[in-house]
Amino acid sequence: MTTRENTTTLIGRIPIRHLSPQQPEGLWPAKAYVGEVVPFHATIFREGHDLLGADLELTNPEGKTVVHPLAQGAPGTDRWETDVRVDVMGMWTWRVRAYADDWATWLHAAEIKIEAGIDVELMFDMGIGLIDRALSAGRATKKTEILKEARAAFAARTTPAAQRLAAALDPRLTQALGTRRPVSLVTYSPTVTLRVERQRAGYGAWYEFFPRSEGAQRAADGSITSGTFRTATARLAQIAADGFDVLYLPPIHPIGEVNRKGPNNTLVTKPGDPGSPWAIGSAAGGHEAVHPDLGTVDDFAAFVAEATSHGLEIALDLALQCAPDHPWVTTHPEWFTTLPDGSIAYAENPPKKYQDIYPLNFDNDRDGLREAVLEIVELWISRGVRIFRVDNPHTKPVEFWEWLIGTINAAHPDIIFLAEAFTRPAMMHTLAAVGFQQSYTYFTWRNKKWELGEYLTELSKDSSAFFRPNFFVNTPDILTEYLQFGGVPAYKIRAALAATGSPTWGMYAGYELIENVARPGSEENIDNEKYEYKVRDFAAARANDTSIADYIADLNRIRRAHPALQQLRNLDVHWSDDDSILVFSKFTSGRHTPSGTSDGIIVVANTDPHAVRETTIHLDMARFGLTNGTQFEVVDLLTAERWQWGNDNFVRLDSFTHPVHILHVQYPKGHTA
């Protein structure tokens, strides 16, 4: 006789697998943001041919559970799905309930057998048994009478079989069964967590400027007087009017004097050179202080208050590094790396060298440095900052970020951290997994149709449970060849793709002015603003039509007006016959829009900034809520032109006039598919 140990099986009676959204290892919760429409999926199947049913049981942070029926996805995949708009910040939980749908299984067999005259009375007897189960499952109501009528019809053996079966197909009976529906083999999935953060964690338009350049004055001798928080305040109203939600400031702290960099990252400085804001710290203070040229802490508070009055949030750079004359270098030398010759290692990113910056060493005094950084972040939170753009987080231990973000968010759930980590995918994804609410991406370098299509699909589908992209079109350090040589068309194309491809996008000041001259041999602007002041006249450029600021304002206006563009996971790439014409759609069902009518956007972009392109595009209309073969009207939200479209459509995009269509699908009122 064989002895068998008791074994606990991991699979349920009805297998429920591949739950999403989830992080790959399940170590940290998946992410969503208030207002996001979250797709829930599970693979559900069983042996044999009996029919199944499934529900999503979703519990919000207040403990309220709502049941959402799951529908079968593509035939043959065993994927079940639904989408739900989440509306409360906090930790949600969810699980899937699967069951054998005894009623549906019986009805399917009954229709076939009774029509064929096979086991007719046996099938009706089985139906009576199911009705009896439903009657015993709850108290008597008005719907109970409908159940009794069906039972009586099934039992009426002198009535023609087709007439008796008709009672089973009565929509009133389906409705009456409701929660009494006879089911069996009920199986539950494990419970999964979903962290829902505030809306700005996943949706918004960012604008970056250097306060020292805003209102800077050039004297007759060429010297420049720094702008201040007070002079920078003058641009807040226009930035808000152009539809931006977040104003990102590079570091505003005192800048080191030792090894200060001159123009274009040179080691030679002259009086009046302001240095790099990322070389933080001097005799005037460190990360806790405000650069004296910009004003005082009170001036910063007034700046934040004025921004808030215009609906702008301030994002502050969190750069965990020090100039050689930062106070920490003297008070905490153990927080840095000392080389064999006794010197402190400065920052390098070969071939770039940053002699004006000392990186922090997070292993020499782990707890001491952690507490110092936490104190700095808490200080700026107390001064009104709710968003931090983190400089080079991939050069610090990931466990440090998990600790810092977790600690901050436990006390301040509304704080947002953006990871500026242009590095390997494993590091970028892990930073997002452990807590960063947003991440810079490779979008800047994805310029061809095929690579854009692949990347948009990856971000909106494969990694969307935890990695939230912020599509910055440029930075002080990034001026791609595409922008250097593409002229105004390239700048319009990239802005339109960023603003529609991701619910969060951003730009650095000067983009609207088509500042596209690079430092020879590099991928950054000549006379990089990191190392000097920029005296610009944005209003004059706008008046002289040498700015695309109005175009950018139109993009932000369109984003705010269309719920579909405020989502990430609803993007689908379609096909065109031209290697430079990218086509994608975004769709939000009327079940999730304020108007109750579906919102569908089709973006058609000529990614070649040097040419006119003509081609045919091919749409899978089910992706945006229409039946293939339907004729429908689209309106270009940039030009107000209208066309009648279908599955296959001719387009002509002239990069020198209108390189991108942003088309709004005209659904009938109340369309909710």
| Burial (0-12, 13-18, 19+ Cβ within 10 Å), 219 | exposed
Angle between helices 142-155 and 161-168 (to 10 degrees): 160
Active site residue 481: no
Q: Please, what CATH class does the domain formed by 16-94 belong to?
A: mainly beta
Q: Which two tokens stand for residue 673?
A: 């598919």
Cβ of 284: how many Cβ atoms within 10 Å? Answer: 17
pLDDT at 9: 86
Q: Is the pLDDT of residue 1 over 80?
A: no
Given a contact cutoff of 8 angstroms between Cβ atoms, the answer to whether 489 and 611 are in contact is no
Q: What is the mean pLDDT of residues 135-163?
A: 91
Cβ of 162: how many Cβ atoms within 10 Å? Answer: 9
- Which of 420, 524, 529, 599 is labelled catalytic? 420
What's the fold here for domain 199-563?
TIM Barrel (3.20.20)
Alpha helices in 481-602 (DSSP H): 481-501, 538-543, 549-561
Kind of pairing between the strands at 575-576 and 504-508 = unpaired
CATH code 2.60.40.10 region(s) in the chain: 16-94
The matching CATH number, chosen from 1.20.58.80, 3.40.30.10, 1.10.10.350, 2.60.120.10, for 103-188 is 1.20.58.80
- Model confidence, pTM: 0.95
CATH code 3.20.20.80 region(s) in the chain: 199-563
Domain covering 569-665: architecture: Sandwich (2.60)
Q: What is the mean pLDDT of residues 637-652?
A: 98
Kind of pairing between the strands at 246-249 and 313-318 = parallel
Residue type, 550: D
CATH code 2.60.40.1180 region(s) in the chain: 569-665
Q: What is the mean pLDDT of residues 478-486?
A: 97
Quote the CA–CA distance of 78 and 44 in Å, as a whole number: 6
pLDDT at 354: 86
Q: What is the mean pLDDT of residues 27-52?
A: 97
Alpha helices in 349-424 (DSSP H): 366-382, 398-411
Task: Report pLDDT digits (tens) over 173-182.
Answer: 999 998 889 9
pLDDT at 521: 87
CATH code 1.20.58.80 region(s) in the chain: 103-188
Angle between helices 366-382 and 398-411 (to 10 degrees): 40
Active site residue 391: yes
Q: Is the pLDDT of residue 3 over 90?
A: no
Q: What's the pLDDT band for 369 if we cut at 50, 70, 90?
A: very high
pLDDT at 2: 56
Task: Report pLDDT digits (tens) over 646-671.
Answer: 999 999 999 999 999 999 999 999 99
- Which of 242, 245, 391, 608 is labelled catalytic? 391
**Backbone φ, ψ for residue 664 (5° rounding):** -100, 120
Q: What is the mean pLDDT of residues 77-102?
A: 98
Q: What is the mean pLDDT of the chain?
A: 96
pLDDT at 78: 97
Closest CA to 604 of 639, 552, 561, 566: 639
pLDDT at 349: 78
> Around 518, how many Cα atoms within 13 Å sit in the side-chain half-sphere?
18
Terminal-residue alpha carbon distance, the chain: 61
Quote the CA–CA distance of 530 and 278 in Å, as a whole number: 8
Given a contact cutoff of 8 angstroms between Cβ atoms, the answer to whether 625 and 587 are in contact is yes
Task: Report pLDDT digits (tens) over 555-567.
Answer: 999 999 999 999 9
Q: Where are the beta strands (DSSP E) in 509-647?
A: 571-573, 575-576, 581-588, 599-606, 612-618, 632-636, 642-645
